[in-house]
Amino acid sequence: MSAVAALRIGPIEPLPPRPARPIRFVRETLVLVGRSLRAIPRVPERLSDVTIQPIVFTLLFLYVFGSAIHIPGVRYQDYLLPGLLGQSLAFGVIGAGTATVTDFTEGVIDRFRSLPVTRLAVISAQVAGQVIEQVLGISIIVAIGIGLGWRPHLAVASGFELAGLMLFGLVAFTWFGVLLGMLMRSSDAVQGLGFAIVVPLSFLGGTFVPIQGMQVVPRVIGEWDPLSAIVAAVRQVTQGIHSQGSWQLTHPIAAMVGWCALLTAICVPLALHRFRANEGG
């Protein structure tokens, strides 16, 4: 640190003229998403949050409980893996929530907000970065599933259908996670609440065993559990398995789109409102 050298950090770097708002929004979002992407390889444990649980469940159900579960006409791998894929969307809530709560409590978001950056870009980048991270996590699950003998029957069209459904689901659940992250004060709290909601819904949602075989109470819950629609939708697209039961199980794709649209419609305005309200506190 030299003596009286003034603040002048060098020749003035002129700022390029400020582009129009929509262009700034896109540019700022990309720069901020870049930050999330760079961080991913440096925190492998965050990816494992998304992947370990499905891997453990896969091994457990495939090799421990699998022999006791018989689903007529399907190999258990082909039943289980689409289920895990579907429920992994919901587990994304926990990842997005913890990342968000950390960014808020550690002051990173404050720094972005004290810059002349569009507010919407900060929150959009938060969602986009999380979605990309989850996509990576899900790709790992798919790869491991295929390694363990899962055989999806995907034509080109149904491949796109699956990708579209999963992406929509991811966006919806990530918004939910970001909202949760802004409402809670610590990542432990997010994890606690997240698991308390997602794990029961995942078990009741027919991820591991058919809902039709359950006792009355869990069966009724399971038939209207949003996750059961998602799980059934993925199963229908990847294996052509048609589920029985309530309307949402016999029309799982429409039901999944409906649930995700509902979640988005609720969470996006709330999250945006919360993000602005945060300036009040």
Q: Which residues bind other proteins (CB under 8 A)?
A: 1, 4-10, 13, 15-16, 18, 24, 28, 31-32, 34-35, 38-39, 42-43, 105-117, 279-281
Least Å from the CB of residue 30 to other proteins = 9
Closer CB to other proteins, 10 or 73, in the complex: 10
Which residue blocks in the chain are alpha helix, DSSP H?
A: 21-39, 44-59, 76-105, 108-113, 119-147, 156-183, 187-204, 216-224, 226-239, 247-250, 252-277
Q: Which residues contact 129 (CB under 8 A, 6 or more apart)?
A: 32, 33, 35, 36, 37, 99
Closer CB to other proteins, 26 or 69, in the complex: 26
Least Å from the CB of residue 138 to other proteins = 21
Closer CB to other proteins, 101 or 166, in the complex: 101
Least Å from the CB of residue 194 to other proteins = 21
Residue type, 57: F
Closer CB to other proteins, 10 or 72, in the complex: 10
Q: Between the CA atoms of 177, 179, 184 and 187, what dihedral angle is there, to the nearest 10 degrees?
A: 30
Closer CB to other proteins, 114 or 215, in the complex: 114
Least Å from the CB of residue 16 to other proteins = 6
Q: Are 222 and 249 contacting, i.e. CB atoms less than 8 angstroms apart? A: no
Least Å from the CB of residue 14 to other proteins = 8
Cα distance between residue 31 and residue 56, in whole Å: 35
